[in-house]
Chain A
């Protein structure tokens, strides 16, 4: 039996074997050396390693059903425009005398300026939504995956029946543009104009027709809901690079019964991962333990102890760690390597019980592996080298990191 087949067998035994209880310790050990790209192994392992699913297999059906129902509720409450019929479950009387205390009252309207107005919130959201929109439209541009339609669009969103704003990006189409069009063409053609505009807006990351949506639109919704539920943190650039690989894994799960719920499952896995790295994204925590500067210092200290000469050289060149390691660590290396390599790195990072010890080791190895070049280079070449890490067999880096004590 080949080594690969043996590894597959091991995963099969632990993930799909007859026992109800999954030995997480064993799974961590296996996943640390990479999850084979077969069946649902990676998607399932990540769900377990991130704590979205518990080790008891018999609990999964209930957990998944509950979480997915909850996510659906998030969409209804946070994504659909106010006054929508399934919002708060209120009866849409339409006569103006019924006020639904749970949902949006009919006294509320888009022009209301009251702080309690759901419409007010709706418009305020657009500020961070605009940022999300920019970022998801440039997610993993080297692969076409995110530009393609998903087989499992969110039905309530893509069948808008002409209602504007269910698709989040429709809300942030440049307002002046549409009014310029309205001026020219009159008010009667609004819907047609909107289609025209969204299609033109960004060539490749174009919005889909009624009934369809692209993967980037799904990711946009995940990030939007996350930001709505975590108002103290909101959306920070780079979160798109964190959610991207998770979504990719979930949405390409060969098991279609899982793939159909990629959006909800990804949301909770992303939320779980963010709970561990959220401090990296919060400016006021930069200097706190767990903040990004603390992480960069950990890397710096490790480098100093492993190879003082490189450490000293970089210091003398005033090549500060934040020039390269800020991005490395904040994004868990997701921008430094091609997607398949990122997935491989994350297998190990998620399997690491001392979370992020190993990430720091990988980062340290990335520098040590380039030792000779770094010692030769001047400042500029070294910044370039570290900011655009040269192509490399990722297993070499991971093996090197594994060898660091």
Chain B
């Protein structure tokens, strides 16, 4: 087997309704490019990107899933292994926002209890077509104690930041849990808390 070129491996999952831009978000993050001509994802797709956080090389293994109900039996089997889940809706599509609740329920049913979650309102460049305002996204995130961000894969807004914040949140957890592995440095870092609207542990 190839030798390890990274310190940590994080498995992430992208879920959300069909057509909200999951594949585009992932493509922007992994290849820093945008195309509107993606064929629909059938089953599950996969990308890898290595990022550096706090001096650690973190390999992100990101699974991109098909949005339609039919594929749930196939895609939910990936929830279990995921350490972070990006839940994407489209700010120009009301229904995709309403379905966030359904996706959250899916996560509860199939993912690990301590999985890190983040809600993304994608296509925020399309201001003239917006039907879900930012406050509603923030509200639902606050309600569930989840991080939230508006993104645009097309205009490259917040994509990198979203993945890095999710990865950092996972890193917080793992470094807390596996501090024995890395004794010289125990990181308790909540610096980004105020920068991430909607992320709040004290909302209740």
Binding site for B on A (CB under 8 A): 131, 134-135, 138-142, 174, 176-177, 202-204, 236-238, 240-241, 281-283, 286, 322-323, 326-327, 330-331, 335, 377-378, 380, 383-384, 387
- Are B131 and A176 in contact (CB-based, < 8 A)? yes
- Are B45 and A141 in contact (CB-based, < 8 A)? no
- Are A131 and B68 in contact (CB-based, < 8 A)? yes
Evaluate whether A322 and B74 lie within 8 angstroms (CB atoms) in the complex, with A174-B92, A177-B129 already known: yes
Chain A residues with Cβ below 8 Å from B69 are 283
- Are B44 and A323 in contact (CB-based, < 8 A)? yes
Give the CA-CA distance A331 to B38 in the complex, in Å. 16
Number of interface residues of B (CB under 8 A): 31
Binary contact track B11-27/A, C-beta < 8 Å → 1, others 0: 00000001100000000
Evaluate whether A283 and B92 lie within 8 angstroms (CB atoms) in the complex, with A134-B40, A237-B18, A387-B46 already known: no
Beyond the given A134-B19, A237-B71, A380-B61, could you list 7 further A-B residue pairs with CB under 8 A, ordered by the A residue number? A131-B18, A140-B39, A141-B39, A142-B37, A174-B131, A286-B73, A327-B43
- Are A237 and B70 in contact (CB-based, < 8 A)? yes
Evaluate whether A384 and B40 lie within 8 angstroms (CB atoms) in the complex, with A134-B19, A237-B68, A283-B70 already known: no
Which residues 54-99 of B have a CB within 8 angstroms of A?
61, 66-74, 77, 92-94
Q: Is residue B42 contacting chain A, with contact meaning CB distance below 8 A?
A: yes
Evaluate whether A378 and B2 lie within 8 angstroms (CB atoms) in the complex, with A141-B37, A176-B131, A330-B42 already known: yes
Of B40, B72, B94, the contact of A283 (CB 8 Å cutoff): B72
- Are B40 and A138 in contact (CB-based, < 8 A)? yes
6 residue pairs of the A-B complex, CB under 8 angstroms, read A138-B37, A138-B39, A138-B40, A237-B40, A327-B42, A384-B48
Give the CA-CA distance A140 to B37 in the complex, in Å. 9
Chain B residues with Cβ below 8 Å from A241 are 39-40, 42
Q: Is residue B36 contacting chain A, with contact meaning CB distance below 8 A?
A: yes
Give the CA-CA distance A138 to B42 in the complex, in Å. 13
Distance to closest chain B CB from A137 (angstroms): 9
Give the CA-CA distance A241 to B40 in the complex, in Å. 9
Which residues 28-50 of B have a CB within 8 angstroms of A?
36-40, 42-46, 48
Binary contact track B82-124/A, C-beta < 8 Å → 1, others 0: 0000000000111000000000000000000000000000000
Beta-carbon nearest neighbor of A235 in chain B: B68
Distance to closest chain B CB from A163 (angstroms): 26
List of 10 A-B pairs having minimum Cβ-Cβ separation, nearest first: A141-B37, A326-B43, A134-B19, A327-B42, A237-B68, A176-B131, A383-B46, A378-B2, A327-B43, A236-B70
Chain A residues with Cβ below 8 Å from B19 are 131, 134
Beta-carbon nearest neighbor of B4 in chain A: A378
Beta-carbon nearest neighbor of B61 in chain A: A380
Q: Is residue B188 contacting chain A, with contact meaning CB distance below 8 A?
A: no
Chain A residues with Cβ below 8 Å from B94 are 176
Evaluate whether A335 and B73 lie within 8 angstroms (CB atoms) in the complex, with A131-B68, A174-B131, A387-B46 already known: no
- Are B43 and A322 in contact (CB-based, < 8 A)? yes
Evaluate whether A237 and B37 lie within 8 angstroms (CB atoms) in the complex, with A323-B44, A330-B42, A335-B42 already known: no
Evaluate whether A134 and B18 lie within 8 angstroms (CB atoms) in the complex, with A174-B92, A283-B70, A326-B74 already known: yes
Beta-carbon nearest neighbor of B44 in chain A: A323
Of B42, B44, B46, the contact of A384 (CB 8 Å cutoff): B46
Q: Is residue B180 contacting chain A, with contact meaning CB distance below 8 A?
A: no
Of A202, A238, A327, A330, the contact of B36 (CB 8 Å cutoff): A202
Chain B residues with Cβ below 8 Å from A134 are 18-19, 40
